[in-house]
Amino acid sequence: MKIEYALLADAAQAVGGKVFVLGGGWNLYRSASYPAPVQFAVAIGLGFSTSEIGMKYPLNIAIADESGVPIVPEMKGQVETGQPAPDVPKTASVKIPVAININMSLPHPGTYGIVVTAGTSTAQLSFEAIFAGQKVELEPEGSAPERGN
């Protein structure tokens, strides 16, 4: 089994053997303040050979900041292929789409990494969270503000 693709999206669904992606393939998140609530999806395509059918495989997603500090607890699950339909040729590989929608809070701007592990296959994604608001001009250090009477 191998991860054939993994991508970030605004939202995703896996229905009827297909993955439906809304706003897919991004790598930049903008917020005017942090911590920032964020909703996104990880769309994953898994490929299996005929000898791997009917087995269960672990599927895990870890999200961490640039220091390697986990942002949310690791998401753990499993995937099983099931049996292909009778009209599918015996030599055909089995494809399983997976869509995982995530709601979380980004504590600060920076680089965030996502590691998807399915069986022994791994895919790594990342995105940059940046400040997108107006910056406030502060007085230079050492200058005292004027005070009224």
Q: What is the mean pLDDT of residues 84-88?
A: 80
Residue 94 lies in a domain: yes
Q: Which two tokens stand for residue 122?
A: 């791994």
pLDDT at 39 exceeding the cut of 80: yes
pLDDT at 80 exceeding the cut of 90: no
Residue of higher predicted confidence among 30 and 90: 30
Residue 46 lies in a domain: yes
- Tens-digit pLDDT profile for residues 91-135: 778 899 999 999 999 999 999 999 999 999 999 999 999 999 777
Residue 14 lies in a domain: yes
Nearest-angstrom CA–CA distance, 79 and 119: 9
Nearest-angstrom CA–CA distance, 69 and 65: 5
Residue 138 lies in a domain: no
CATH, residue 68: 2.60.40.2550
Q: Quick one: DSSP state of residue 70?
A: B
**Measuring CA to CA, which residue among 16, 72, 14 is closest to residue 42?**
14
- Cβ burial 108-145 (10 Å sphere, 16+ → b, else e): ebeebebbbbbbeeebebebebeeeeeeeeeeeeeeee
The model scores a pTM over 0.75: yes
